[in-house]
Chains A and B, each alone.
Chain A
Amino acid sequence: MTAEHKTNLAEKSYAVLTSLKTSVYLLLVLCVFFMLGTIFPQGTEYATYESSGGRFLFLVKTFGLLNIFNGSAFLAVSGLLLINLAFCCYENYFRVKGRRRKGYASLTSPDLVIALNSKPDKAQKIIERMFLSLGFREKPSSEKNVIVYEKGIYYRWLTWLYHAAIAACFAGFVLSGLYVKEGMLTLKKDTPAKIESSMMPETLGWMASPEPPSYTIVLDKFSTEYAEHPNLDMPGDKIARLKVASWQTPLSFDLSKEGIFPKDWFSKLRILENSSTATEKTIEVNDPLKYKGYTFYQVGYEQELELSVEGAKEKITVTAGRSVDIKELGVKLKFGTLRTGNLFQKDGTVRAIEPYVMAKIAPDKNAKNKKPESRKEEAPVKLVVSKASVIAGKKVTLTGYDESSMLSYRYDPGVPLLWFFGSLVFIIMTLRCLGSWQRARFSIRATDTGSVAEINVKCMGLFRSKASLVSNLDYVAKTRISE
Chain B
Amino acid sequence: MQIDELTLKTASLLTFEYRLYWIVALSYALSALIYLAHALSGSKKAASSAKGLLITAFILHVGLIAVRTYEVERAPFQTLYETLSWFAFTAVGTYLLVSRKWKDVHLPALFVTTLAAGACGYALLTRTPAAEPLSPPLQSYWFESHVILAFFSYAVFIVSSAIEISAAVASGFLKRGRQSFRGFEASAMHGFHATSYNLVLFGFPLLTFAIFSGAAWANEAWGRYWSWDPKETWSLITWTVFTMYLHSARVPGWSERVAPILNILGFVCMMMTFLGVNWLAKLLGIPSMHVYAV
Contact = CB atoms under 8 A, between A and B. Distances in A.
Interface string B9-23: 011101100110010
Contacts of B168: none
Contacts of A234: 128-130
Contacts of B291: none
Interface string A231-255: 1101000100100110100111101
B136 A20 contact: no
A247 to B, nearest CB: 7
Nearest to A253: B7
A286 B220 contact: yes
Contacts of A419: 216
A295 B237 CA distance: 29
B7 A230 contact: yes
Contact of B4 (A27, A245, A255, A299): A255
A37 B240 CA distance: 15
Interface in A411-431: 415, 418-419, 422-423, 425-426, 429-430
A47 B233 CA distance: 25
Give the interface SS of chain A, mostly helix, strand, loop or mixed: mixed
A229 B133 contact: yes
B49 interface: no
A230 B5 CA distance: 12
B124 interface: yes
Nearest to B126: A238
B244 A288 contact: no
Contact of B3 (A34, A251, A347, A415): A347
B222 interface: yes
A35 B22 CA distance: 36
Give the interface SS of chain B, mostly helix, strand, loop or mixed: helix
Interface string A251-287: 1110100000111110000000000000000001111
A238 B126 CA distance: 8
Contacts of A30: 240
Contact of B136 (A245, A264, A423, A430): A264
B205 A434 contact: yes
A31 B241 contact: yes
Contacts of B212: 422-423, 425-426
B56 interface: no
Nearest to A203: B224
A346 interface: yes
Contacts of A92: none
A297 B243 CA distance: 34
A38 interface: yes
B223 A253 contact: no
Given A245-B22, A253-B10, A429 B208 contact: yes
Nearest to A461: B201
A288 B280 CA distance: 32
B221 interface: yes
A163 B291 CA distance: 34
A232 B128 contact: yes
Contact of B233 (A38, A252, A426, A430): A38
Nearest to A52: B285
Contact of A288 (B7, B132, B220): B220
Nearest to A409: B223
Contact of A182 (B198, B220, B224, B240): B224
Nearest to A427: B205
Contacts of B136: 262-265, 284-286
A241 B243 contact: no
Interface stretch (B32-40, B88-96, B172-180, B245-253): B245-253
A253 B286 contact: no
Given A35-B237, A426-B212, A286 B137 contact: yes
Contacts of B215: 422
B281 to A, nearest CB: 8
Contacts of B247: 20, 23-24, 27
A285 B205 contact: no
Given A232-B130, A415-B225, A347 B216 contact: no
A41 interface: yes
A415 B251 contact: no
A433 B153 CA distance: 13
Interface string A168-194: 000000000000001000000000000
B236 interface: yes
B219 interface: yes
Contacts of A153: none
Q: Which 4 A-B residue pairings sit nearest by Cβ, starting from the closest?
A: A232-B130, A297-B223, A285-B136, A253-B7
18 contacts: A21-B251, A30-B240, A230-B7, A238-B125, A244-B15, A252-B11, A285-B139, A285-B221, A286-B136, A286-B217, A286-B221, A288-B220, A288-B223, A299-B222, A346-B3, A408-B222, A429-B208, A462-B198
Given A262-B135, A295-B223, A426-B205, 15 more contacts: A20-B251, A27-B244, A38-B233, A38-B281, A39-B280, A41-B286, A228-B3, A245-B22, A264-B139, A265-B136, A285-B221, A423-B212, A429-B204, A430-B205, A433-B205
